[in-house]
């Protein structure tokens, strides 16, 4: 029974991270109709930046408790990166899809190597952040309190994002632009500003995902690609462009993955892709997708 609870918590932990990445991807697609192939790499950047900052902070003698604040900083850095990059991508929103994919794929190659250039090939961890929080006892077993915080962050992000999109004026503008770009600009909306904002939010989410996972799991090269593929499975299941879809998809993928690791460790990835393939066969737009 205890094991079950632990597994459920692990799944929720992982789902939080996945949700952040997938929601960011979905948001960017929803507003700009572009799939950023480098999105997983933004997640990786978030992880590396955060881990590096934590390392520097500890080396400078900052008490471990404060390192927690570096998580939003790490996410913020990725958002800044997004703000810089978005205007460069904008000319491609109207071009053929192949070119969009190729350009963002080029971005992926560049960023992956920049990560390698800046931080080398060795994994970078941020354990101190995790150690700050006490461990919880669950039925005789010890469970990191940090994981619960991550779950809380994930839930908060889901609620927060929903609130921004559906309850604020900015959210209305976002939704208007995603429905009809020309109409939105004819109504006087600053479409460029909305694009940059949406992209920055999407990148922030991805970066946050990386920042919150790195205390638990070291940042390694190639994590971006794995994340991209998993995020993709999430949006396939949940539907591209849908917030609920990202949430539900993240939960499903996460639980299946946890079960898979437990029972079929060799092929847990394959099981995930199988589910994605089945969903694509049955409902190509995903559970909540609008195609």
Partner 1 sequence: MTVAAVSRLQYRPKLLLLAAAVVVLALLALLPPYIGLYQTQLLTYGLIAAIAALGFNLLLGYTGLLSFGHSAFFGIGAYSVALLLRDAGIHSMELYVLIGLPIAAVTSALFGYICVRHTRIFFGILTLALSQVLWTLAYKFFWVTGGSDGLRVARPTLLAGMLTFTGGGSFQRFINAYYYYVLGVFAICVVIMWVIVHSPFGKALQAIRDNETRAAFLGLRIRRFRWVSFLISGTFTGLAGILWVPLNGLTTPEVLYWPFSGEIVFTTLLGGFRNFTGPIVGGVLFTYLKTYAVATTEYWQLLLGVVLVLLVVLLPTGIVGAISAVADKLWPQEKSS
Question: Under the rule (CB under 8 A), what is the footprint of partner 1?
Answer: 35, 37, 92, 97-99, 101-103, 105-114, 116-117, 225-226, 228-229, 232-233, 236, 240, 266, 269-270, 273, 276-277, 280-281, 284
Contacts for 95 with CB less than 8 Å, ≥ 6 apart: none
Please identify which residue in the block is written with the tokens 């990202």: 246
Could you give the maximum distance between any two Cα atoms of the chain, in Å? 62
According to the 3-state scheme, what is the secondary structure of 172-238? Answer: HHHHHHHHCHHHHHHCCCCHHHHHHHHHHHHHHHHHHHHHHHCCCCCECCCHHHHHHHHHHHHHHHH
Q: How far is the CB of 284 from partner 1 (least distance, A)?
A: 7
**For partner 1, the closer CB: 75 or 237:** 237
Q: How far is the CB of 228 from partner 1 (least distance, A)?
A: 8
15/231 with CB nearer partner 1:
231
Closest CA to 204 of 146, 250, 164, 257: 164
Smallest separation, CB 116 to partner 1 (Å):
7
Question: Closer CB to partner 1, residue 201 or residue 231?
Answer: 231
* Closer CB to partner 1, 127 or 226, in the complex: 226
Q: Which is nearer to partner 1, 40 or 128 (CB)?
A: 40
Sign of dihedral through CA atoms 151, 155, 160, 162? positive
The nearer residue to partner 1, 136 or 229, going by C-beta atoms, is: 229
CB of 80 to partner 1, least distance (A): 20
- Cα(199)–Cα(170) distance, integer angstroms: 14
CB of residue 216 vs partner 1: minimum separation in angstroms? Answer: 21
Q: How far is the CB of 52 from partner 1 (least distance, A)?
A: 18
Please check whether residue 287 is in contact with residue 248, taking contact to mean a CB–CB distance below 8 angstroms.
yes
- Distances in whole angstroms, Cα of residue 63 to Cα of each of 38, 52, 58, 67, 128: 34, 16, 7, 7, 10
């Amino acid at each position: 029974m205890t094991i079950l609870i632990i597994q459920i918590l692990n799944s929720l932990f992982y789902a939080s991270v996945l949700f952040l990445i997938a929601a960011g991807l979905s948001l960017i697609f929803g507003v700009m109709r572009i799939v950023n192939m480098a999105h997983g790499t933004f997640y990786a950047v978030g992880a590396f930046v955060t881990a590096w900052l934590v390392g520097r902070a500890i080396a400078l003698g900052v008490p471990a408790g404060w390192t927690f604040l570096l998580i939003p900083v790490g996410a913020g850095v990725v958002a800044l990166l997004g703000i810089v990059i978005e205007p460069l991508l904008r000319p491609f929103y109207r071009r053929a899809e192949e070119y969009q994919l190729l350009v963002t794929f080029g971005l992926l190659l560049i960023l992956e190597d920049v990560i390698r250039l800046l931080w080398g090939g060795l994994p970078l961890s941020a354990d101190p952040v995790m150690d700050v929080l006490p461990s919880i006892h669950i039925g005789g077993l010890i469970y990191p309190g940090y994981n619960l915080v991550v779950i809380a962050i994930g839930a908060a992000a889901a609620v927060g994002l929903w609130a921004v999109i559906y309850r604020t004026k900015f959210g209305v503008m976002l939704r208007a632009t995603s429905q009809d770009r020309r109409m939105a600009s004819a109504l006087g909306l600053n479409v460029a500003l909305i694009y940059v904002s949406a992209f920055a939010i999407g990148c922030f989410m991805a970066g946050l995902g990386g920042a919150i996972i790195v205390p638990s799991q070291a940042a390694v090269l190639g994590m971006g690609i794995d994340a991209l593929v998993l995020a993709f499975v999430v949006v396939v299941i949940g539907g591209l462009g849908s917030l609920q879809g990202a949430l539900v998809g993240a939960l499903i993928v996460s639980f299946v993955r946890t079960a898979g690791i437990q029972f079929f460790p060799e092929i847990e990835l394959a099981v995930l892709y199988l589910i994605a393939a089945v969903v694509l066969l049955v409902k190509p737009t995903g559970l909540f997708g609008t195609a």
